[in-house]
Amino acid sequence: MAIPKAFCIELNKVVNIYDAHDAYFSQPEPRAKLSFLCPDKSCRDEKSPLLIGVNYTKNPTVDQIKNKPHFRAHHEFRHSLKCPWVEMQEARDELEKEEKKQARNLKNHEIVDVFEPILTSQDVKDEEDDGFLVQTDRIGLLPTKRARIESWKSLIKNRPHKTSRLDEVVTCFELLGDDEKKQVYLDIPDVGRKTYRQHFKSVRYARPDGEARIYYGVARVSLWEKKRYYINFLAKTEDNEFPDAEVSTYITVEQLSRFRGGALLRAQLELSRETKKHPCCYIFGVAETSQKAGNKLSIDYSSLSVFTIRLDTAAT
Ligand SMILES: [Zn+2]
């Protein structure tokens, strides 16, 4: 967990880094960078310290990202003496040094532990604080700085990292090594606690068994009558009980216009279409037999927060 939130000057509100990402890509090109201040109101009123947004202007579809997007303190700006975010950042830096012995791209506390997809709404819900602010107040009452930093460290280490965005889960999957994928667990409510490797399934092994999985595969993107983007996976199924089936899904333009972050996703779909590159598509859903045609599967999903694509790993 990085500094989880920041005050965005242009949006005039406290946002998390994914809100900043969505807001940046919702602008027409050339896009302007956003400016961020400390999320603590009294600190902002007193000192107005700038924060740095890292990697929020990168398009995960085309840019290789070594670090997850996050906010960091700006060394030239001082915060108020009582600002909780400074000590939290120090705690985080100490934790990162302790973890440096492990040669991996992803810090332990950055790994998503719980993926809670949105089941009904078309929008991305605000990540819940889970009593985080209550903890901030509690830690603030501790008498020494050392005690507060130790408390932050244990909170950062032990608090489950939750998200409702598949994109964040896929970034973890990409950054984990092959062995780590089999060792690190992800909890998806109603599906269960399994390793990353077990939750992710190539569409080759899709089958209509009613189970929700994170399906992925290289796909062809096409647009039908400016209304629907069809995503047709190139590989057919190789499952013993359901072999040789084509797998597809679709996104409507209307869905994209209602979804926060829809502008970025639409730009990605258009880019794959125009460049005729076949992106790798990830989707959390249930494979179902198509009613119209026999040996075809379509992947049914709840909202666009469970859909993400990557062009950098794609075949042309
Ligand atoms: Zn501050």
Phi then psi for residue 295, to 5 deg, are -90, 55
Cα of 49 vs its chain's centroid, Å: 27
- Centre of ligand 1 to C-alpha 135, Å, is 17
Kindly state whether residues 226 and 298 are assigned to the same domain.
yes
- Centre of ligand 1 to C-alpha 82, Å, is 8
Contact 193/206 with Cβ under 8 angstroms? no
For all residues of the chain together, what is the average pLDDT?
84
Range of weakest confidence among 3-12, 48-57, 228-237: 3-12
Into how many domains does the chain fold?
2
Stronger pLDDT, 231 or 110, i.e. the higher one: 231
Kindly state whether residues 158 and 20 are assigned to the same domain.
yes
Kindly state whether residues 102 and 155 are assigned to the same domain.
yes
pLDDT in the model for residue 271: 85
Q: What is the pLDDT of residues 84-120, one digit of tens each?
A: 888 888 888 888 788 765 555 566 667 899 999 876 5
Range of weakest confidence among 121-130, 149-158, 213-222, 255-264: 121-130
Radius of gyration, CA atoms only, the chain: 21
Q: What is the pLDDT of residues 26-36, one digit of tens each?
A: 888 899 999 99
- Centre of ligand 1 to C-alpha 89, Å, is 10
The b/e string for 269-282 (b: 16+ C-beta within 10 A; e otherwise) is bebbeeeebbbbbb
pLDDT in the model for residue 1: 42
Kindly state whether residues 80 and 143 are assigned to the same domain.
yes
- Centre of ligand 1 to C-alpha 116, Å, is 30
Is residue 184, in this structure, part of any structural domain at all? Answer: no
Is residue 117, in this structure, part of any structural domain at all? Answer: no
| Domain harbouring 309, CATH code | 2.40.50
Kindly state whether residues 141 and 266 are assigned to the same domain.
no
Residues 6+ apart with CB under 8 A from 117: 164, 166, 188, 284, 302, 303, 305, 306
Residue 101 is part of which domain span?
A: 5-110+128-163
Is residue 224, in this structure, part of any structural domain at all? Answer: yes
pLDDT in the model for residue 107: 65
Is residue 190, in this structure, part of any structural domain at all? Answer: no
Q: What is the pLDDT of residues 141-164, one digit of tens each?
A: 888 989 999 998 888 877 778 888
Kindly state whether residues 102 and 149 are assigned to the same domain.
yes
Kindly state whether residues 13 and 134 are assigned to the same domain.
yes
Contact 68/53 with Cβ under 8 angstroms? no
Is residue 170, in this structure, part of any structural domain at all? Answer: no
Kindly state whether residues 11 and 157 are assigned to the same domain.
yes
Kindly state whether residues 10 and 143 are assigned to the same domain.
yes
- Centre of ligand 1 to C-alpha 2, Å, is 14
- Centre of ligand 1 to C-alpha 6, Å, is 10
